[in-house]
């Protein structure tokens, strides 16, 4: 029976990506190896996050432990684990982490062709209260690894070859795109494997939810303010949208991807470029949204067309269901 087949034929993330890559004759498994190291980082963070509440008791992060050594905070620890895992994969040449001011140029003997931009633990304000947080990553591939420079990652998001995130929530979910759709995998803790649970994710064409930090409304520009007003008081007789905002980009985007709707982190008078970072927040999430049939817009252009000029550049972002993003695009176009 097919029901039996489902239980005994487990599609792990490694097997899935190997299958995907085997469609490219030139593939030599490098991406699969890179991914398995990203996955290792995610498993480590997942386990650390789930024990975070016990940290004081068993000495995991923060505070000083019995030996009197200063212990590492969860975000610092996660960053170190990802960097070491990525370098040891032998498949990377440049790493850009939210936690590090400078890019890491991998030493020649350990170099491979991939550049990975990542936020090892995003949603810092939610760490201490046990609310969902996540890791976000975007991957570029270099043609020539001999003299890598940061110019090699200051490229538009549409040049990425893969992007994804891992959400440490009620379960640990990894969502990935290698440019051929979006697939979701859930960590089976007893196996230690990510199993395909959400094949070929497509975002609903229109949604019923908007997601934004409305506490910043007094400083918004006109198009954003008008859009949110229309979510609450629709003029076309439709029902108002619901508001959901966690304050963890991974969790807010994950819900948007599955249920539809729109996520906004707009510019405001205090932060004219918004808050979220282009290379490891805006680009990976925009890549996933487009791959799932949605859209992503900066207030000026398609987000994946933006060309960053510095590593930690920020950009306003509006992403989600195709029709919902169309509406905000129209408001910005009218304001020009």
Q: Find the helix or strand (DSSP H, E) in which 13 lies.
A: helix 13-21
Contact indicator for 225, 258 with CB cutoff of 8 Å: no
Contact indicator for 307, 155 with CB cutoff of 8 Å: yes
Nearer to ligand AHM, 31 or 227 (CB): 227
Opening angle at CA 46, ends 63 and 191, nearest 5 = 135
Residue 3 C-alpha from the chain's centroid: 32
Nearer to ligand AHM, 145 or 250 (CB): 250
Nearer to ligand AHM, 177 or 248 (CB): 248
Contact indicator for 228, 212 with CB cutoff of 8 Å: yes
- Least Cβ distance, residue 37 to ligand AHM (angstroms): 22
Structure token digits, residue 166: 């891992």
x/- contact string, 80-99, with ligand AHM (CB under 6 A)?
------------------x-
Structure token digits, residue 99: 């936690």
| Count of all residues that appear for the chain in the document | 336
Interface of this chain with Mg ion, residues 113 to 142, rule: CB under 5 A: 119, 122
Give which of Mg ion, ligand AHM, none residue 193 binds (C-beta under 5 to 8 Å, depending on kind): none
75 part of the interface to Mg ion, by CB under 5 A: no
| Given 83, 139, 249, 319, the residue binding ligand AHM (CB under 6 A) | 249
Measured CA to CA, the distance from residue 335 to residue 262 in angstroms comes to 20
CA dihedral sign of residues 272, 274, 276, 279: negative
Interface with ligand AHM (CB under 6 A), residue total: 12
Identify which of 292, 281, 284, 288 has the alpha carbon closest to the alpha carbon of residue 316: 281
Interface of this chain with ligand AHM, residues 112 to 171, rule: CB under 6 A: 122-125
| Given 21, 65, 213, 219, the residue binding ligand AHM (CB under 6 A) | 213
- Least Cβ distance, residue 265 to ligand AHM (angstroms): 6
| Given 254, 255, 275, 314, the residue binding ligand AHM (CB under 6 A) | 275
Nearer to ligand AHM, 20 or 98 (CB): 98
Contact indicator for 41, 86 with CB cutoff of 8 Å: yes
Nearer to Mg ion, 13 or 249 (CB): 249
Binding site for ligand AHM (CB under 6 A): 98, 122-125, 213, 247-249, 252, 265, 275
Binding site for Mg ion (CB under 5 A): 119, 122
């Amino acid at each position: 029976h097919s029901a039996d087949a489902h239980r005994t034929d487990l599609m792990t993330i490694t097997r899935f990506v190997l299958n995907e890559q085997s469609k490219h004759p030139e593939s030599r498994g490098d991406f699969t190896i890179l991914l398995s190291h990203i996955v290792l980082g995610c498993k480590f963070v997942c386990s650390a996050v789930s024990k975070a509440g016990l940290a004081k008791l068993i000495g995991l992060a923060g505070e000083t432990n019995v030996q009197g050594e200063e212990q590492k905070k969860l975000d610092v620890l996660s960053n170190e684990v990802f960097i070491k895992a990525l370098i040891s994969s032998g498949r990377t040449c440049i790493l850009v982490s939210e936690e590090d001011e400078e890019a890491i140029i991998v030493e020649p003997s350990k170099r491979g062709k991939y550049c990975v931009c990542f936020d090892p633990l995003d949603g810092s304000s939610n760490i201490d209260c046990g609310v969902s947080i996540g890791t976000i990553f975007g991957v570029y591939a270099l043609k020539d690894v001999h003299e890598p420079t940061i110019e090699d990652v200051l490229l538009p998001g549409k040049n990425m070859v893969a992007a994804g995130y891992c959400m440490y929530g009620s379960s640990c979910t990894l969502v990935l795109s290698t440019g051929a759709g979006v697939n979701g995998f859930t960590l089976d803790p007893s196996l230690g494997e990510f199993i395909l649970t959400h094949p070929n994710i497509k975002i609903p064409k229109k949604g019923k939810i908007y997601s934004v930090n409305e506490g910043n409304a007094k400083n918004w520009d006109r198009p954003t303010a008008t859009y949110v007003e229309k979510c609450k008081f629709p003029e076309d007789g439709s029902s108002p949208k619901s508001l959901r905002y966690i304050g963890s980009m991974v969790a807010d985007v994950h819900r948007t991807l599955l249920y539809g709707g729109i996520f906004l982190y707009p510019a405001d008078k205090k932060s004219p470029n918004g808050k979220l970072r282009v290379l490891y927040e805006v680009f990976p999430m925009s890549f996933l949204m487009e791959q799932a049939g949605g859209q992503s817009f900066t207030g000026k252009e398609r987000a994946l067309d933006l060309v960053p000029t510095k590593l930690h550049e920020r950009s306003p972002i509006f992403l989600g269901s195709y029709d919902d993003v169309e509406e905000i695009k129209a408001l910005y176009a009218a304001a020009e």
